[in-house]
Amino acid sequence: MFSLDDVKFNEDGLVPVIVQDVLSAEVLMMAWANRESLEQTLSGGEMVFWSRSRKEIWRKGATSGSIMKLMELRIDCDGDTLLAFVEPAGPACHTGERSCFHRLLTEPQPGKGSFPGILWRFLEKRQHDDPSESYTARLISKGLRRVAQKVGEEGVETALAVAAGDRAETIYEAADLLYHLETALLASGLTPLDVYAELERRHAKGS
């Protein structure tokens, strides 16, 4: 286990911190921290940075409410950059966007492994929408039995597509299954992190 003594601060006493959503894997922002702000981050469990423009310590979300709960903090091999995995309570960017890196320089590529987490963040918001306008909100409003039924239906349809060797249909039905499974977790008061933690425990046992 490393400590703040292993961090190589620059000549201004600062170190860059890359902030990543622990669930969606989206890079949310990059900010600067000094030793004091890192000490406050570790002691308080929420991200605290150093503002180079204001020359003061600032807790992310202190005024906006978009705090970032620290889940894990890592140091790179050279000791001069930190990576923080967080649970964000709102947008990271001052523009209201989820990530400060929302402007594209290339065409977006589909099929990124982080998309299930991105979908989860979307569903978290959709569950509170008008059921007449949102399928997600409508499904959850019908209760756990209906949500469970949909998971079962999509599971069977996925299995049939696999058994038939139909590649296109398998992709289509698996997408339906993943969506409804995430909705079921949401309706049950769980998150994918709970499932990932269980998978990690099994992996550690060599399952």
- pLDDT, tens digit, 9 for 90 and up, residues 131-146: 999 999 999 999 999 9
Determine the structural domain holding residue 130 and report its residue range.
Answer: 115-204
Residues 130 and 199 in one domain: yes
Residues 78 and 154 in one domain: no
**Residue 73 pLDDT > 90:** yes
CB neighbourhood size of 164 (10 A): 10
How many whole angstroms from its chain centre is CA 41?
A: 19
Residues 20 and 79 in one domain: yes
* Number of structural domains the chain divides into: 2
Tell me the whole-structure pTM to 2 decimals. Answer: 0.78
Judge whether 30 lies within some domain.
Answer: yes
Judge whether 134 lies within some domain.
Answer: yes
Residue 207 is predicted with a pLDDT of 57
With a CB cutoff of 8 Å and minimum separation 6, the contacts of 13 are 34, 35
Q: What is the CATH number of the domain that holds 84?
A: 3.10.20.810
Judge whether 109 lies within some domain.
Answer: no
CB neighbourhood size of 155 (10 A): 16
Judge whether 105 lies within some domain.
Answer: no
At 32, phi and psi to the nearest 5? -105, 150
**Residue 113 pLDDT > 80:** no
Residues 190 and 124 in one domain: yes
Judge whether 140 lies within some domain.
Answer: yes
Integer Cα distance of 200 and 8 in angstroms: 31
At 124, list the tokens: 């978290």
Domain limit, last residue, from 88, 107, 128 = 88
Share of the chain above pLDDT 90, in %: 87
Name the CA radius of gyration of the chain, rounded.
21
Q: What is the CATH number of the domain that holds 119?
A: 1.10.287.1080
pLDDT tens digit sequence for 4-28: 999 999 999 999 999 999 998 999 9
pLDDT mean across residues, the chain: 94
**Residue 94 pLDDT > 70:** yes
Domain limit, last residue, from 35, 70, 88 = 88
Tell me 165's DSSP state: T
Domain limit, last residue, from 71, 88, 105 = 88
Residue 110 is predicted with a pLDDT of 75
Residues 68 and 120 in one domain: no
Rounded to the nearest 10 degrees, what angle do helices 192-204 and 167-187 cross at? 110
